[in-house]
């Protein structure tokens, strides 16, 4: 079987431009909407949104690879990178590494890509590991293969170029990446450039580990450079939700260099992430409105619970907030929990669904558009 990098036309990817033309237009329109709304947020909300997006991207890009991070440690590390107050917990290497990489990506969007950039990202990602070649391209003689299934019946999904030609392939990749930028010799439209950057890099698979996370970071960098500002995105959140489709699309496009199906898949994924980001911004605005409407009306237990519910983000508590969860969060008694929850419903902070043991409570954000912030 021949892989894409073994074809005569590698790495000259081809695709039907009309297949994603409308998607490119939709992306440009959506970007305008997001940045327009973002500009009207106050500085505190802009900061909160940026931290939430970087946190979610770091968390989900790791989950895609099967690595479950400590949420509090990760958020603490990101807040520290922003120079904000954070608890003084000792952050584990994995959480610090991905946080540092995402912050470097965010702060240096406009910088051209170099080998050194990739080596630094790899060092950050592999922080604390001693079983890998760290901060350099792989050199081992063994084949770099993507395999799944049982040890006695493995399924080969992809085999990357041998280590001896990786440096040459990466030289070409970096030239392509910088030339395809908005100010480069051969600029590409945002979705096309981002999609190709991801597939091209992951096909070379230049590192022993971390290739997927770096590929997704490069997709964000490519997209951000073509809109000329750090991109507010939820790319990995959407990929993680539909992880099988992601790996299926990669596998379907690793044997030749006509990649229309990959571009349409990845472009649509980027648009979904854009929609999710729009919803996240609206969620943040509604959070501010709800706090404004309830100012001075809640006791400490109620405030703590509302904050905890907002911390869950768009997804909220799975199955809603139960009386048991309220008791667990606040440490109060059942009669007090019942009174507090009833009061929150009366104040329209929450709405109730179900009856008896199936009663659940949800943030009441539906009518907040009628409230005007001062």
Q: What is the pLDDT of residues 243-293, one digit of tens each?
A: 999 999 999 999 999 999 999 999 999 999 999 998 888 888 888 889 889
Are 173 and 137 within 8 A, CB to CB? no
Assess if residue 287 is contained within a domain: no
Q: Are both 312 and 258 inside the same structural domain?
A: no
- Kindly report the number of other CB atoms within 10 A of residue 177's CB atom: 22
Query: 258 with 316, same domain?
Result: no
Shared-domain flag, residues 209 and 309: no
Is residue 69 reached through a cis peptide bond, with omega within 30 degrees of 0 on the bond before it? no
pLDDT band at 368 (very low <50, low <70, confident <90, very high): low
Q: How are beta strands 153-159 and 350-353 bridged, if at all?
A: unpaired
Q: In the chain, which residue ranges form alpha helices assigned H by DSSP?
A: 18-39, 43-64, 71-81, 93-107, 115-125, 166-179, 190-204, 211-227, 235-241, 243-252, 260-293, 300-311, 323-330, 334-346
Query: Could you tell me the residue range of the domain that residue 348 belongs to?
Result: 299-370
For residue 13, tell me if it sits in a domain.
yes
* Residues facing 148 on adjacent strands: 155
Interior angle at CA 24, CA 40 and CA 271, nearest 5: 60
Q: Is residue 26 part of a domain?
A: yes
| 373: confidence class by pLDDT, cuts 50, 70, 90 | very low
CATH number at residue 343: 1.10.10.10
69 closest CA partner among 216, 77, 214: 77
Residues 317 and 268 in one domain: no
Which CATH number does the domain housing residue 232 bear? Answer: 1.10.3290.10
When computed from its CA atoms, the radius of gyration of the chain, rounded to whole angstroms, is: 23
Residue 44 lies inside a defined structural domain of this protein: yes
Same domain, 249 and 328: no
Residue carrying the six token digits 């400490």? 300
Q: Could you tell me if residue 291 is inside a domain?
A: no
Q: What is the pTM of this model?
A: 0.88
Q: Same domain for 204 and 322?
A: no
Q: Regarding predicted confidence, which is higher, 259 or 50?
A: 259
- The verdict on 221 and 315 lying in the same domain is no
Q: Looking at the 3D structure of the chain, how many domains does it have?
A: 2
Residue 186 domain flag: yes
- If you average pLDDT over every residue of the chain, what do you get? 91
| pLDDT value of residue 312 | 83
* Residue pair 352/361 in contact by the 8 Å Cβ criterion: yes
* Chain segment 66-100, per-residue pLDDT in tens: 999 998 899 899 998 888 876 777 899 999 999 99
For the chain, percent of residues with pLDDT exceeding 70: 97
Is the residue at 293 inside a domain? no
pLDDT at 366 over 90: no
Using the 3D structure, point to which of 282, 317, 336 is the last residue of a domain.
Answer: 282
Q: Which among 147, 144, 143, 164 has a CA at the least distance from the CA of 156?
A: 147
Residues 94 and 239 in one domain: yes
Shared-domain flag, residues 231 and 267 = yes
Per-residue confidence (pLDDT) for residue 287, from 0 to 100: 86
Domain contains 107: yes
Q: Do residue 335 and residue 266 come from a single domain?
A: no
Dihedral through CA 266, CA 268, CA 271, CA 275, nearest 10?
A: -120
Is residue 182 domain-shared with residue 45, that is, in the same domain? yes
SS3 label, residue 145:
strand
pLDDT above 90: residue 20: yes
361, 345 in Cβ contact below 8 A? Answer: yes
């Amino acid at each position: 079987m021949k892989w894409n990098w073994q074809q005569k036309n590698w790495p000259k990817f081809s695709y039907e431009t009309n297949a994603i033309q409308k998607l490119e237009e939709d992306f440009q329109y959506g970007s305008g909407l997001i940045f327009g709304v973002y500009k009207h947020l106050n500085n505190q909300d802009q900061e909160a949104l940026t931290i939430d997006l970087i946190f979610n991207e770091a968390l989900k890009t790791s989950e895609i690879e099967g690595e479950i991070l400590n949420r509090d440690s990760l958020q603490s590390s990101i807040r520290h990178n922003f120079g904000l107050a954070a608890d003084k917990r000792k952050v584990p290497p994995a959480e610090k590494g991905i946080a540092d990489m995402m912050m470097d990506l965010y702060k240096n969007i406009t910088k051209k890509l170099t080998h050194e950039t990739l080596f630094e990202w790899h060092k950050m990602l592999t922080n604390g590991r001693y079983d890998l070649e760290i901060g350099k391209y792989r050199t081992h003689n063994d084949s770099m293969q993507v395999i799944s299934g049982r040890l006695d019946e493995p399924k080969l999904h992809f085999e990357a170029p041998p280590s001896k030609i990786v440096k040459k392939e990466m030289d070409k990749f970096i030239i392509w990446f910088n030339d395809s930028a908005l100010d480069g010799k051969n600029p590409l439209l945002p979705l096309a450039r981002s999609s190709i950057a991801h597939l091209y890099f992951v096909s070379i698979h230049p590192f022993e580990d971390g290739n997927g996370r770096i590929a997704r970071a490069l997709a964000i960098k490519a997209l951000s450079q073509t809109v000329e500002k750090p991109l507010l995105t939820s790319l990995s959140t959407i990929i993680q939700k539909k992880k099988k489709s992601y790996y299926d699309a990669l596998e379907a496009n690793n044997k030749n260099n006509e990649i229309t199906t990959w571009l349409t898949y990845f472009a649509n994924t980027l648009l979904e992430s854009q929609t999710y980001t729009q919803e996240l911004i609206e969620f943040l605005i509604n959070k501010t409105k709800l706090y404004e409407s309830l100012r001075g009306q809640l006791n400490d237990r109620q405030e703590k619970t509302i904050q905890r519910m907002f911390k869950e983000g768009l997804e909220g508590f799975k199955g809603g907030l139960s009386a048991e969860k309220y008791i667990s969060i606040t440490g109060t008694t059942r009669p007090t929990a019942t009174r507090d929850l009833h009061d929150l419903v009366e104040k329209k902070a929450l709405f109730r669904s179900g009856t008896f043991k199936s009663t659940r409570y949800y943030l009441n954000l539906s009518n907040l558009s009628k409230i005007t912030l001062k």
